[in-house]
Structure 1
Amino acid sequence: MGFKVGELLSGELRSFGFTSCDLTVEQASEIHKEYGTNGAIVWDDELGGFRSATLEEVIEKVSPSNTMSPSKIFQHILLSKQMDVSIEQLDQALIGKGSLEGTGFTFKAAADIYGVDPVYLIAHSLLETNHGASALANGTVKDYEGYYNVFGLAAYDGDASNLGAAFAKQKNWNNVKKAIIGGAKCISDWYTYSSHDQDTLYKMLYNPANPGVHQYATDIGWAEKQSNMIYRICRDNGMDELEVEIDYPVYK
């Protein structure tokens, strides 16, 4: 079922598609809590860093009923259904975004080549690169200078910068444009169009059809943060009339 972006921005939702999970939210959350080398993590403002997530915190994020506000609902848009956005709108969203500024054409080209929504691609890159300011986004990781990674691919917990930069070197992403195009291909191949069928941010993070398998991140706020970025990009850059489709998770 298609929606105008403006409907999502205002919270005016109608019916939409569903993905079913054979577990309850609580059962799935217990699996997610243990996902990754050290389990699920959450950002703690008081600590100024990440810490292990409690089961209650994981349940709060996994529960679909907590994802329906305008700033959170975008984690359920189908990433294979591209918004008909202009290069000018994308460039406007990238103003002041460090090494990503002025790359609207490249994001649009990557989206068209690999069939992934360009607004999502930008939101993902902004989150993973601290708005274009990170060492990975600027090719300045020590011993890997000149290699770029704008989607956090292979940047695993514990040594994210070095691992992400090593992956970029392996892929020969020696400029930002190559990192955008190549990263979009990885996302398309590994998630959007893979056998895992992870065609939304929520499914990339929580994989409701198979919890605990092939999840993009251990940060339980990962999908929500990107949803908020997509919300703000659409709100601030005149995208109300663009169309999206939603796939919503349903647990037992």
Structure 2
Amino acid sequence: MQKSIKWARILVIAISILLLTTGTAFAAVIEMAVKDDKDNNYVFNYNELIDSYTRNVIGMKSVLYDDFSSKSVTSIATEERGHVDYQDVLNAYTLSVVQGKSFDVVKYIDSSSSKRVELKLGTRAVSVKDDKLVFTALNLSEGDIEAALKAVNDASSVSSMIRALTRNADAFQDGERFKKLHNFAQERVAGRMLARKSFKDADALAKAFKEELQSAEKTIIITYTEYGHTLKEIVGIQVGRNAQTDLYGGGWKSADSDLVRWHVDPNNFQGFMLPAARITASNVNVRSGPSTDYSIVGSRLQSGAGPFYVLNEGSDGNYAWYKILTGTRVGWVREDLLELTTRKGDAMFQFLKLSGNAGVSADEVNENILKGRGTLEGQAEAFIAGSEEYGINEIFLISLALHESGYANNRPSKLAKGYEVDDVDNKFPDKDKVTVYNMYGIGAFDSNPTEAGAQYAYNAGWFSPEEAIIGGARFASRNYIHHKTYQQDTLYKMRWNPASPGNHQYATDVGWATKQVPRIMNLYAQLETYILHFDIPKYK
């Protein structure tokens, strides 16, 4: 089928070229309309298309023809008749061939025998500028343009700006480019447009929109890496490695398969709409299982709370129950106490590649981020030095240190504040005890984190905050980011190691990667220029 469609496209072009070179007295073909596999409709100027087709034949770049040839022809237009159904023209041509008669395609189009059609609503004209496709909406009224301008200027949030830009794409020359962006990139463009509004007229809006699209296309790179495991296999392995969580209450406990699956599945963190629930009653208990026989976990939820992600569904025989993730707890709520809805998945930054230097200002980091953070205060130069020496993102290092040290929550760990240990190796002959620092919790195993982490720091020679920061950067770079075998250069890879699941993983907490995301995003929000490269895993 696809082969015959492509042959038919080439046939029409060949016939039309012949007509233009034989001096026909009839009006020439002026346009050709097509549609893509998603039923989006486009129209091409015939002369521009022939020019691009000629470039293709002689081996030159042919952007317009390449795009045209990937779509299906729907109609052909002449000056006199307008658009005529393509299948009707093809049927007439086929009949002429069968009957052994000559066929003049333009004469047939302009005759009353041809089947006239109107261009579909929302059809866009396709042209080329600077070797890039340009899409222009057709037949828009001044009212349409004014309505689009108003919708953008009235937007009050990123989500409402995305809706305004998407629903009014026909009014924007680059609307199709916006629709093709990944959800995360759309959010970036929408956020920037929100900061730049209000726009005085359509021209100012179009100019800003084009600039932000170009910026997003240049500074946001998204790649996908395929792995040889299924998601189910990954979950089974991670559950078997005793993945931990603090979401059940009462300290760290083994995470069940629902919670592991939620955190392992990359689709939950890319801006897609996911199943969720909103509480509709007062003083709702969250329970450890799908019935009132199970214990209560966490504080009661009030009407309107949520939406919370739904991880699973169960039943007590009379009611359906939904397992929800509230952010601080995970547990079950009965169906009559909630309403089902959707919520956008986030935490895309766990897929951010962490190799390289982000180029932040030391003064800005010290003033805006590290001020008042105990032993981390004033240490921006140490983070930058570690970044430059070991090829690791300093924003990641700062975020990791804030999280692991406890300074992010103003509850610093003993290792971050400085912990005294015996100088067993006589590294300081005049001292029996020395103070060590461990800003990243390296070697602080769950069974005895302080002693184990202190011993690691002593052996590594981390006797000052600077040495712990730079030494930790070396550890993270050599053991994860630039590891010669694993190359775990994203938070997700550090936590779950999709190339070799269950092995060489940085943490046991199922939420470790997502917990780093808000701080990293907050730090990036303070920068004006940067390149974000995301590497997202795909499972079989």
With normalisation by structure 2, the TM-score equals 0.43
Structure with higher Rg: it is 2
SS in 1 for 2:436: coil
Residues 27-81 of structure 1 deviation map (CA, whole Å, 9 limit, x = unaligned) = 101111122xxx110112643x221101000000000011224851111111103
The structure-2 alpha-carbon separation of the partners of 1:141 and 1:61, relative to structure 1 and needing over 3 Å to count, comes to: farther
The structure-2 alpha-carbon separation of the partners of 1:161 and 1:148, relative to structure 1 and needing over 3 Å to count, comes to: same
After superposition, residues 1-252 of structure 1 pair within 5 angstroms as 7=188, 10=191, 16-35=222-241, 39-44=242-247, 46-47=249-250, 49-69=251-271, 72-91=347-366, 92-131=368-407, 133-140=412-419, 146-194=435-483, 195-235=485-525, 238-252=526-540
CA contact (8 A) 2:415 2:450 kept: yes
Query: In the alignment, residue 81 of structure 1 is paired with which amino acid?
Result: G
Percent identity of paired positions between Structure 1 and Structure 2: 34
Rounded to whole Å, the distance in 2 between the matches of 1:203 and 1:8 is 27
Shift of 1:96: 2.1
Shift of 1:84: 2.1
Query: In the alignment, residue 73 of structure 1 is paired with which amino acid?
Result: M
Shift of 1:170: 0.5
Rounded to whole Å, the distance in 2 between the matches of 1:99 and 1:135 is 11
Q: Which moved more, 1:68-77 or 1:186-195?
A: 68-77
The structure-2 alpha-carbon separation of the partners of 1:15 and 1:83, relative to structure 1 and needing over 3 Å to count, comes to: closer
**Structure having greater relative contact order (Cα 8 Å, sep ≥ 6):** 1
CA contact (8 A) 2:351 2:534 kept: yes
CA contact (8 A) 2:406 2:413 kept: yes
Rounded to whole Å, the distance in 1 between the matches of 2:475 and 2:233 is 30
Rounded to whole Å, the distance in 2 between the matches of 1:8 and 1:226 is 23
The structure-2 alpha-carbon separation of the partners of 1:85 and 1:9, relative to structure 1 and needing over 3 Å to count, comes to: farther
The structure-2 alpha-carbon separation of the partners of 1:23 and 1:188, relative to structure 1 and needing over 3 Å to count, comes to: same
SS in 2 for 1:158: coil
CA contact (8 A) 1:19 1:209 kept: no
Shift of 1:121: 0.2
The structure-2 alpha-carbon separation of the partners of 1:126 and 1:9, relative to structure 1 and needing over 3 Å to count, comes to: farther
Residues 165-220 of structure 1 deviation map (CA, whole Å, 9 limit, x = unaligned) = 00000111011100001110011111111121101110011011111111111001
The structure-2 alpha-carbon separation of the partners of 1:73 and 1:150, relative to structure 1 and needing over 3 Å to count, comes to: same
Shift of 1:140: 2.5
Which segments of 5 or more consecutive residues in structure 1 lack a partner in the other structure? none
Rounded to whole Å, the distance in 2 between the matches of 1:43 and 1:9 is 35
Rounded to whole Å, the distance in 1 between the matches of 2:259 and 2:363 is 39
Q: Which moved more, 1:90-99 or 1:219-228?
A: 90-99
SS in 1 for 2:458: helix
SS in 2 for 1:146: strand
Q: Which moved more, 1:182-191 or 1:26-35?
A: 26-35
CA RMSD of aligned residues (A): 2.5
In structure 1, the partner of 2:205 is none
Rounded to whole Å, the distance in 2 between the matches of 1:65 and 1:96 is 37
Rounded to whole Å, the distance in 2 between the matches of 1:86 and 1:9 is 26
Rounded to whole Å, the distance in 1 between the matches of 2:190 and 2:390 is 27
Rounded to whole Å, the distance in 1 between the matches of 2:435 and 2:221 is 47
How many residues get paired? 243
CA contact (8 A) 1:141 1:161 kept: no
Which segments of 5 or more consecutive residues in structure 2 lack a partner in the other structure? 1-183, 193-215, 272-344, 423-432
Rounded to whole Å, the distance in 2 between the matches of 1:246 and 1:223 is 14
The structure-2 alpha-carbon separation of the partners of 1:7 and 1:81, relative to structure 1 and needing over 3 Å to count, comes to: farther
CA contact (8 A) 1:23 1:251 kept: yes
Rounded to whole Å, the distance in 2 between the matches of 1:78 and 1:89 is 23
The structure-2 alpha-carbon separation of the partners of 1:207 and 1:140, relative to structure 1 and needing over 3 Å to count, comes to: same
Shift of 1:225: 0.5
Rounded to whole Å, the distance in 1 between the matches of 2:448 and 2:256 is 23
Query: In the alignment, residue 127 of structure 1 is paired with which amino acid?
Result: H
SS in 2 for 1:74: helix
